[in-house]
Amino acid sequence: MAHTAESFCEVWGSPVAHSLSPALHRAAYEILGLDWDYRYRDVTSETLALTWEQRGSALAGLSLTMPLKEDIVALVEAGDPIVAKLQAANTVYRVDGVPTLSNTDPFGVEQALGHHGVSADYAWILGAGATARAVGYALLQRGTTRVTLCVRNPERAHHTAEVMSHWGLDVEVVPLTELDSVDLPQLVASTLPGNAGGLPAMPERVVATAALFDVAYSPWPSAFAHQWGNSPQPIVSGLWMLAYQALAQIRLFVHGDVSRPLSAEDAVFRAMTDAVGLNSGS
């Protein structure tokens, strides 16, 4: 896609100043030889519509984090099929100049779990928001057939459970306070914020037998990662998901095609992971 030297990309969300997306994107742009910048902007659900309306023509690509992944869907008409499946988007890119929604989070989850050799027929997903749907869709693509949504408020999880069931997953919803009575999973995938407080500890029988994927990466190790510290099971940081979903976003910003690899993509991704302190052994 032809962007000018004045083009730039941004990540919107609130809070967003802590985001590692600028480090990931800038490292990739440097290897690709793109004269682009990547910035962050604090945008809330209340200010999103006006911020979108006032965006400049130089905005070549946009990343969205919470709480905007669902809100943006009402503002942008064009979208990839995955957006309708998830009812959430984390990316806006251009197709023949037209802003178009996509969601690269499932790609990020798939690649992160694949990198660590983690798969599961049955998984627990902690949380039931937009990120939980992205994780559920990625797990479905990796062969998972059954998930349990473990949540604080089961009533608020019904929508996500219905969406996942529509894809063909076998879904149940249980309160976080009743985990001792739930079947043992092969994977626990937490989509809860890293600063979430008052969460119950995972049952020791689960820690001993299930892999952990925690989308939280700041601070790291997360509370759950600490609990898994002596477990023989794999622990996957959400920073891997962040890096891989950013790689997919850059494919969209550059090519308009998430399936088309970047030039020298191995070198690009190495620069990205180096920029945020990841390495192939993590």
Q: Which residues are marked as active site? A: 69
CA gap 192, 210 in Å, rounded: 18
In contact, 213 and 224? CB cutoff 8 Å: no
Residue 75's identity, in one-letter code, is L
DSSP code of residue 227: H
In the sheet where 78-79 sits, what is the strand order? 37-42, 8-13, 59-64, 91-95, 98-102, 78-79
Other beta carbons within 10 Å of 197: 6
DSSP 65-76: -TTSTTGGGGT-
DSSP 132-192: HHHHHHHHHHTT--EEEEEES-GGGGHHHHHHHHHHT-EEEEEEGGGGGGSPPPSEEEE-S
- The single residue listed with the structure tokens 């970047």 is 262
Joined together, the tokens standing for residue 30 give 């440097």
> How far apart, in Å, are the Cα atoms of 163 and each of 40, 47, 137, 151, 249?
31, 28, 10, 16, 24
Nearest to 62 by CA among 133, 1, 8: 8
Alpha-carbon Rg for the chain in angstroms? 18
263: left (phi over 0), alpha (psi -120 to 50) or beta: beta
